[in-house]
Structure 1
Amino acid sequence: MKTAFLFLMLPELLAAPVALAQTTSAGPPATPQRPVTDVYFGKKVVDNYRWLEDVNSPEVKTCFQAQADYTKRTLDQLPGRDSLIKTFEAYDKLLTVRYGQVKKRGSRYFYRKTLPSETVGKLYVREGKTGPEKLLFDPTAYDKTKTYSMTAYTPSPDGQQVALGLQEGGAELSTVRVLNVATRAFRPESISAVFGGDISWLPDGSGFLYTPNNSTDPKDPKGNLDTKARLHRLGTAVATDRELWSRAKNPDMGMRPDQYPIMAFTNDQTLVYGVLASVDRRADVWLTTPADLAKPIIAWKHLVTPTDSVYDFAKLGSNIYLHSVKGAPKGRILVTDAARPSPANATVLLPEGTGNITRLLATKDYVFVVLSDGINEKVRQYDPRTQQWANVPMPGTGTAGLEPYNATTSNEIFTYVSTWSRPETVYDYTPESRKMVVSPFDMQARYPGTDDLVVEELEVPGHDGVLVPLSLIYKKGLRKDGNAVCFMTGYAAYGISATPYFSRRNLALLNQGVILAETHPRGGSEKGQAWYRAGYQTTKPNTWKDFISCGEYLVKNKYTSPQHLIGEGTSAGGILIGRAITERPDLFAAAISNVSCSNALRMENSPNGPVNTPEFGTVKDSVQCMGLYEMDAFQHVKPGTKYPAVLCVGGMNDPRVIVWQPGKFAAALQAASTSGKPVLLQVNYDNGHFTEDKKVTFRNFANMYAFALWQAGHPNFQPKSVAAK
């Protein structure tokens, strides 16, 4: 189902962090306080930095630039920062080629390929899986005056054309261009402001379905509201593209302004489905026929409503398979007639079991289900022709990756297992024979230190006695004396689980003796739907309290200590880290608040805020509003508090979390903290929520890590020329 929304050995004793040179001793630029008082259902709330929300104001631009300049000067002085960048680059070079997004159309295999010397991937094609490759598109050569990368790409069903999403400066709102495979020439049309560049081709390749934003500006407050699904026919002017589905065109369908009407074809291309997409995992899906696309008014019929609690679906033959959590918190698979779909009367194909269903997908002849014990996943396949289930012989335990080469015409799957400590091997899986062979697209490299890594999977008591999963990765020989630096991270939102993955950036920390702690707080789905709902809206405090409990466990058991504990949260994980340090500032030496939702009460006033109300709540509801206040880190900053060192990161091109969210949090902490520890705001002008560009990414993460390791006392990151604090 397609949806869119705006996701060295350490010495025994560690040195204490020391002050930087005179250039930063005066502290960051002061941000003026201009109080604004709001009243939410009788509760008065003061906002001292409301004026920072006007990001187009020259004064605000100057303020953010001054913060960015100060932060750059500070971070540029940190020893170890540039060494981290060099380590990232060295590890990157060990993988001689990286393949991704492999797709088959006809006899052609399309794929993204990135060499160590390249900052972004290029698009290639082969005739046959092992045939000679041909470069189709190089985004760095598209316009030498700008910095482009390729987001999504989608080949036409016959493999003759490719729709490309082109991203400039890390912005996820892409421009869609269509490339002729034979000539490598672009067609004249250009469609702007398509999130990720995502489209769905018509079966005959004559055009495609897409849903653009209303603006190319990620800061436009109306950019995400009342969007419209459209049909583009190749060779016609974009301005004449027909509006197929929208709140204005279909006023009787109960569409909300914040929902994205996304249209696409089912795998077998016999039906068109429409998803009213938001962050609500419960799908709202409608069906129609391809013939109806030509009619002035489309005859839609409901497949599932949010009250059906269906997370995903797949069509195969005459049936539709549903991943439902209604009455089954760990999930079950239902099957219903595609001609007369009825979730209420569907047959139970796979009942709820001990494993949590994390994914449902289909190929030409098979249905696949991924089940998880919270950390490790297994895969089962179902053959409707024999009505038999079978286990897929996955090559190891960890996170199971499954990507069909072409779900319409083939059963072959690109598959792998990802773990915390080992890079994955990529296989080609044939369900008919249940055989796996190493894929021609396998990506192998041997990285230093992986043989010395230890993985511990623990469950630690939460604040209310509930056991919280905690994954630890560290080098052999760890001394549990409280002296090791620990980098503890968490997300816990939207029901997204923290499943095992191998990261070369993490390896750079591990090889310097840092412990990595991946927390699994309530708000993810490690233990199913109930775990997710226990960290959602008004139950969200469990998320940061679980995170705090994990930190307390690590300190109590002497893995680390408050002087050496780093906390990190990204995006929606900004709620987790922001409230953790405002509730327990004494527990952390340093914190990274990365492109973070830090001012939840005002999130609805940002471009991507309304679409997130199903997850976090709305200020228009008295109960949900108080829940938003409770999860608002900015509003819980208290003057006169000894806060840890904090690095807040925001992206000027970020369409998901607007830059003033981390910006206001940084300003409040700078004014309130009495610890003497630095609070910095890093503003990325060449980045959005993230970017593919390796050069930008390496610098960004090296800045974050070096800051945190400096403040957590790691000896390789301490300035040597000045006295200790």
Structure 2
Amino acid sequence: MTKQVQPPVAKIVPKTLTKHKVKRVDNYYWLNDREDQEVIAYLDQENAYYNQATAHTKAFQKDLFEEMKARIKEDDNSVPYLYNGYYYITRYEKGKDYPIYTRKKGSLDAPEEIMFDCNEMAEGQSYFQLGGLNVSEDNVWCAFAVDTVSRREYTIQVKNLQTGEILPFKLEKTTGGSTWASDNKTLFYTRKDPVTLRSNQIFKHKLGTDVNQDPLVFSEDDETFTTFVYKDKSKKYLVIGSESTLTSEYQILEANNPDGKFRIFQKRNRGLEYNISYFDGKFYIITNKDGATNFKLMVADEGKTDKKHWKEYIPHREDTLLESLEIFKDYMVIEERNNGLSKIWIKPAQGEGYYLPFESETYTAYVGTNPDFNSEILRYGYQSLTTPSSVIDFNMRTHEKEVKKEQEVLGGTFDKNNYVEERVWATATDGTKIPISLVYRKDVKKDGKNPLLQYAYGSYGSSSDPYFSSIRLSLLDRGFIYAIAHIRGGEELGRNWYEDGKLLKKKNTFTDFVDCSKFLIEEKYTSPEHLYAEGGSAGGLLMGVIVNTNPELYNGVIAQVPFVDVVTTMLDDSIPLTTGEYDEWGNPNKKEYFDYMLSYSPIDNVVAQNYPNMYVSTGLHDSQVQYWEPAKWVAKLRANKTDNNVLFLDTNMDAGHGGASGRFEALKEVAKEYSFLFDLEGITE
């Protein structure tokens, strides 16, 4: 690593923050203003330092980008699915960054209709995202949503798919989500609060009327909830959902009666979670009612939706998390999780149920797009750390399966038999067994000398499933081992796995990651000189904690859009996400939670000590984790650390939480991260 270039020094402007009689001094609070030119100048200085200090890797970064890009099939098509008389296909063209959305009427041999060419739409934009595509039942109108800033605020418009005309009105500051009533002219959509970006209002627009007169259908006034609207698979019901971390509530209205009044399905009770699917006069309800921690399936008649009428259909199981339900006319398909792995259970209307067989010891399987009730074909996806992603059609009656598509890895050198995938179990400090999914080349020896990149997320009950990545081959083929630590705070081992990694048990997430690192070192997969850690967003918080508590275990750390200023952010209810997060992290307005958060908040626990080499990335327009969190954190680390290791802050001045848009631009960001690792390992090609 180049040491000659001097990093910028952020000016110190002490600001005292007081809560519960505890005083905290934030020397870098002034960075909290993206309109301030001095802030922009500082971020530019950090970017300039990063670029100068890594100038010797730029050619290698370019080679890595080309290498990763060369494995991706540029002229690619999605597997078509039939919906309401049309086959829908998304395709990419060689040399182009963005998808083209198309459809064909009645047959795959019919002429192609291009609905949206995102390459044309993205021209002149530094960021572009199309979302929320939603076709009316008469197949004429398509609502679509565009974000050109990357703050996840979408503008909805409507296109006539027969004439190509885009109607002149715009629905601003939305989530992008919308749904048509059965009259093909009434569109329900979700707006966001302009300050907090919380999705809090459902409006209704009728084609041909003034958007400024759109009636408000529902307002979600509880700041810990968000709201959304959709139409159920049967197309009979419009559904408004309201959700917080712990509680849900739904309202329903017949889709052929868009001017009617929505009625509550089951009113919110704190701690009661449920979701609903409709078929043939009955609602099927996945719920945690009556202490069903891992959820159970219940059923209710259409006219009696209050929970007192719910009847048990599939009981609660202590060892199996019931995740989702897909209903067909003659079959029910249940997605479950058992012992850390996804399972798909098929239950015919008549006869015994059965599981789809999966051979690998670590894999990901999921139900795909299945819009047709009457089909006996289940479309599902499958992949593992060594097996490229496949889309499979399975006949639930004959049990025949057809692989419709397997992701192609171009270049001719990839052979899955050259790699090993395994699942091992580390023991946490409290005795809990933590699964780790690993992948590496067959010729790797467990002698403690291998570079190893350990990834985790561990929040919100979001499971980090083992997935295939052609991009990751650039690491593996240079001798790296890749590990996913399935730590508490995710939901891999059921709902309790999540409950044990949130609120006043959040520290389990951090100690689990460290215990996985120690296990990988003890088992000679790697050593502290060659161990690297990576995490983004809430996983970036994890990175912030481990560099404070166990810096000696890691040679380098990658923290993407890290949530590191936990206490200050959670005390500011004007910031997007804050109020909806109280059930995840705790509400620091209560002293118990304030004290606990303060004990691990990365920025509040930076001390004078040696830190690993670090690459920190963020986006100026990030709506999920504001750019100033990593900026302040890096400034404080610079002022306190006692080592000569590198510390980079790389701010994308055009993008937000998800990074660059366009399928190849994102590869440039990965090339930066990989070159950071390779540079530390002395790998130069």
TM-score normalised by L of structure 1: 0.87
Between 1:520-529 and 1:393-402, the stretch displaced more is 393-402
Between 1:681-690 and 1:373-382, the stretch displaced more is 373-382
Residue 694 of structure 1 aligns to a residue whose secondary structure is: coil
Provide the C-alpha distance between the structure 2 equivalents of 1:365 and 1:49, rounded to a whole number of angstroms.
61
CA deviation string 1:525-557 (max 9, x = no partner): 111111101000111000010000011111112
**Correspondence for 1:57 among 22, 36, 50:** 36
- Letter of the 1:670 partner, please give it: R
Identity of aligned residues (%): 22
Residue 167 of structure 2 aligns to a residue whose secondary structure is: strand
Structure 1 unaligned spans of 5+: 1-17, 216-221, 248-254, 718-725
- Residue 87 to residue 312, structure 1, CA distance change in 2 (3 Å): farther
1:457 matches 2:423: yes
Correspondence for 2:298: 334
- Root mean square deviation, CA, Å: 2.4
- Letter of the 1:191 partner, please give it: L
Provide the C-alpha distance between the structure 1 equivalents of 2:89 and 2:330, rounded to a whole number of angstroms.
24
**Correspondence for 1:427 among 370, 378, 392:** 392
Q: Contact 2:197–2:576 at 8 Å: present in 1 too? A: yes
Q: Contact 2:340–2:493 at 8 Å: present in 1 too? A: no
Provide the C-alpha distance between the structure 2 equivalents of 1:558 and 1:685, rounded to a whole number of angstroms.
41
- Residue 128 to residue 299, structure 1, CA distance change in 2 (3 Å): closer
1:377 matches 2:345: no
Correspondence for 1:575: 541
CA deviation string 1:290-317 (max 9, x = no partner): 477425xx35324253545335332222
Correspondence for 1:75: 54
Residue 240 of structure 2 aligns to a residue whose secondary structure is: strand
- Letter of the 2:218 partner, please give it: W
Correspondence for 1:607: 576
Correspondence for 1:531: 497
Provide the C-alpha distance between the structure 2 equivalents of 1:156 and 1:268, rounded to a whole number of angstroms.
14
Q: Contact 1:485–1:714 at 8 Å: present in 2 too? A: no
Q: CA deviation at 1:355?
A: 2.7
Correspondence for 1:698: 667
Q: CA deviation at 1:455?
A: 0.9
Q: CA deviation at 1:676?
A: 0.7
- Letter of the 1:485 partner, please give it: P
1:294 matches 2:259: yes
Provide the C-alpha distance between the structure 1 equivalents of 2:208 and 2:375, rounded to a whole number of angstroms.
30
TM-score normalised by L of structure 2: 0.92
**Correspondence for 2:21 among 38, 42, 53:** 42
Q: Contact 2:466–2:484 at 8 Å: present in 1 too? A: no
**Correspondence for 1:162 among 142, 149, 159:** 142
Residue 353 of structure 2 aligns to a residue whose secondary structure is: strand
**Correspondence for 1:343 among 283, 307, 316:** 307
**Correspondence for 1:402 among 367, 392, 398:** 367
- Residue 184 to residue 299, structure 1, CA distance change in 2 (3 Å): closer
Provide the C-alpha distance between the structure 2 equivalents of 1:77 and 1:332, rounded to a whole number of angstroms.
56
Correspondence for 2:280: 317
Provide the C-alpha distance between the structure 2 equivalents of 1:243 and 1:330, rounded to a whole number of angstroms.
36
1:256 matches 2:222: yes
Provide the C-alpha distance between the structure 2 equivalents of 1:396 and 1:140, rounded to a whole number of angstroms.
40
Instruction: Count residues in correspondence.
Output: 672
1:661 matches 2:626: no
Provide the C-alpha distance between the structure 2 equivalents of 1:129 and 1:75, rounded to a whole number of angstroms.
53
Provide the C-alpha distance between the structure 2 equivalents of 1:505 and 1:108, rounded to a whole number of angstroms.
34
Residue 102 of structure 2 aligns to a residue whose secondary structure is: strand
1:153 matches 2:133: yes
Residue 676 of structure 2 aligns to a residue whose secondary structure is: helix
**Correspondence for 2:153 among 157, 168, 173:** 173
Structure 2 unaligned spans of 5+: none
1:184 matches 2:164: yes
- The structure with higher relative contact order (CA 8 Å, sep 6+) is 1
- Letter of the 2:428 partner, please give it: G
Q: CA deviation at 1:39?
A: 2.8
Correspondence for 1:595: 561
Residue 484 of structure 2 aligns to a residue whose secondary structure is: strand
Q: Contact 1:99–1:443 at 8 Å: present in 2 too? A: no
Provide the C-alpha distance between the structure 1 equivalents of 2:227 and 2:174, rounded to a whole number of angstroms.
13
Q: Contact 1:161–1:178 at 8 Å: present in 2 too? A: yes
Residue 404 of structure 1 aligns to a residue whose secondary structure is: coil
Q: Contact 1:396–1:417 at 8 Å: present in 2 too? A: no
Question: What is the correspondence of 1:181-330 to structure 2 with a 5 Å cutoff?
Answer: 181-195=161-175, 197-215=176-194, 222-225=195-198, 227-247=200-220, 255-278=221-244, 280=245, 282-290=247-255, 293-295=258-260, 298=261, 300-303=263-266, 305-307=268-270, 309-326=272-289, 327-330=291-294
- Letter of the 1:112 partner, please give it: T
Q: CA deviation at 1:171?
A: 4.0
1:472 matches 2:443: no
Q: Contact 1:313–1:360 at 8 Å: present in 2 too? A: no
- Structure 1 moving runs of 4+ over 6 Å: none
Q: CA deviation at 1:496?
A: 0.9
**Correspondence for 1:356 among 291, 302, 321:** 321
Q: Contact 1:200–1:210 at 8 Å: present in 2 too? A: yes
